[in-house]
Structure 1
Amino acid sequence: MSVTIKDVAKMVGVAPSTVSRVIANHPRISAETSKKVRKAMEDLGYHPNVMAKSLVSKTTRTIGVVLPRPAEELLLNFFFYELIRGVLAQLTRSNYDLLMAGGSNEHEELETVTRLVRSGRVDGLLLLYSRASDPVIHFLHEEKVPFVLLGRSLDYEDVPSVDNDNVQAAFDATNHLIAQGQKRIGFVSGPSKLAMTQDRLMGYRKALTEAGLPFKDSWVVEGEFLLESGYRAMAYIMSQPEPPTALVVIDDVVAFGVLKGLTELNYRIPQDVAIVSFNNIALTELTMPPLSSVDVGTYQLGYTASQMVLRMIQQVEITARQIIPHRLVVRESSLLTVPPHA
Structure 2
Amino acid sequence: MSVTIKDVAKEANVAPSTVSRVIADSPRISPATKKKVRKVMEEMGYYMNYNARVLVSQTTQTIGVVMKHSSSHSFDNPFFSELLSGISKACQENDYSLNLTTGESEEAIFQDVVKMVQGKRVDGIVVLYSKEDDKVVPYLMQQNFPFVMIGKPLVDASNVMYVDNDNVQASNEATDYLIQLGHERIGIVGGEADFEVTKARIEGYEKALATHGCESREEYVKYRRDGSYESTSIVQELLELPEPPTALVVMDDFHALSVITSLKEAGVDVPEEMSIISFNNTIVSRLSSPALTTVDTNADQLGYYSAETLVEKLKKPDMLKRSLVIPTNIIERQSCTERSKIF
Is TM > 0.5 for Structure 1 vs Structure 2? yes
Structure 2: gaps of 5 or more residues: none
Q: TM-score, normalised by structure 1?
A: 0.92
AA partner of residue 336 (structure 2): S
Secondary structure of 1:269's match?
Answer: coil
Map 1:315-326 → 2, pairs under 5 A: 315=316, 317=319, 320-326=322-328
Aligned to 1:220: 221
Conserved in 2, the CA contact under 8 Å of 1:77 and 1:226? no
Secondary structure of 1:229's match?
Answer: coil
Taking a change above 3 Å as real, the CA distance of residues 216 and 148 of structure 1, as seen in their structure-2 partners, is: same
AA partner of residue 322 (structure 2): A
Distance 2:105 2:293 in 1: 34
Map 1:51-200 → 2, pairs under 5 A: 51-157=51-157, 158-200=159-201
Instruction: Tell me whether 75-84 or 36-45 shows the greater mean CA deviation.
Output: 36-45
Conserved in 1, the CA contact under 8 Å of 2:192 and 2:227? no
Conserved in 1, the CA contact under 8 Å of 2:172 and 2:205? yes
Distance 1:225 1:286 in 2: 26
Q: TM-score, normalised by structure 2?
A: 0.92
Taking a change above 3 Å as real, the CA distance of residues 21 and 334 of structure 1, as seen in their structure-2 partners, is: farther
Taking a change above 3 Å as real, the CA distance of residues 46 and 229 of structure 1, as seen in their structure-2 partners, is: same
Taking a change above 3 Å as real, the CA distance of residues 33 and 297 of structure 1, as seen in their structure-2 partners, is: farther
TM-superposed CA distance for 1:108, in Å, is 2.3
Q: How many residues align?
A: 341
Distance 1:79 1:214 in 2: 31
Distance 2:149 2:323 in 1: 9
Distance 2:249 2:61 in 1: 41
Distance 1:203 1:84 in 2: 27
Distance 1:31 1:234 in 2: 60
AA partner of residue 245 (structure 1): T
Distance 1:311 1:28 in 2: 19
Distance 2:225 2:37 in 1: 49
Conserved in 2, the CA contact under 8 Å of 1:22 and 1:29? yes
Taking a change above 3 Å as real, the CA distance of residues 322 and 28 of structure 1, as seen in their structure-2 partners, is: farther
Distance 2:29 2:202 in 1: 46
Conserved in 1, the CA contact under 8 Å of 2:160 and 2:321? no
Secondary structure of 2:276's match?
Answer: strand
Conserved in 2, the CA contact under 8 Å of 1:174 and 1:208? yes
Conserved in 1, the CA contact under 8 Å of 2:147 and 2:310? yes
Distance 1:176 1:223 in 2: 23
Aligned to 1:331: 333
* Deviations 1:12-58 (CA, angstroms, capped at 9, x unpaired): 45565554444345678776554433211011221111101111111
Taking a change above 3 Å as real, the CA distance of residues 50 and 71 of structure 1, as seen in their structure-2 partners, is: closer
Distance 2:22 2:44 in 1: 16
Distance 1:27 1:131 in 2: 39
Conserved in 1, the CA contact under 8 Å of 2:182 and 2:340? no
Distance 2:89 2:261 in 1: 34
Taking a change above 3 Å as real, the CA distance of residues 107 and 36 of structure 1, as seen in their structure-2 partners, is: same
Structure 1: gaps of 5 or more residues: none
Taking a change above 3 Å as real, the CA distance of residues 139 and 286 of structure 1, as seen in their structure-2 partners, is: same
TM-superposed CA distance for 1:306, in Å, is 0.8
Instruction: Tell me whether 275-284 or 19-28 shows the greater mean CA deviation.
Output: 19-28
Instruction: Tell me whether 147-156 or 242-251 shows the greater mean CA deviation.
Output: 147-156
Conserved in 1, the CA contact under 8 Å of 2:128 and 2:150? yes
AA partner of residue 334 (structure 1): C
Distance 1:146 1:97 in 2: 16
TM-superposed CA distance for 1:193, in Å, is 0.7
Distance 2:77 2:340 in 1: 33
* Deviations 1:238-266 (CA, angstroms, capped at 9, x unpaired): 11111100000000000001110111111
Secondary structure of 2:75's match?
Answer: helix
Aligned to 2:274: 273
TM-superposed CA distance for 1:282, in Å, is 1.7
RMSD: 2.2
Aligned to 2:204: 203
Taking a change above 3 Å as real, the CA distance of residues 331 and 45 of structure 1, as seen in their structure-2 partners, is: same
Percent identity, aligned pairs only, is 40
* Deviations 1:154-208 (CA, angstroms, capped at 9, x unpaired): 0222111110000001001000000000000000010111010000010000000
Conserved in 2, the CA contact under 8 Å of 1:76 and 1:226? no
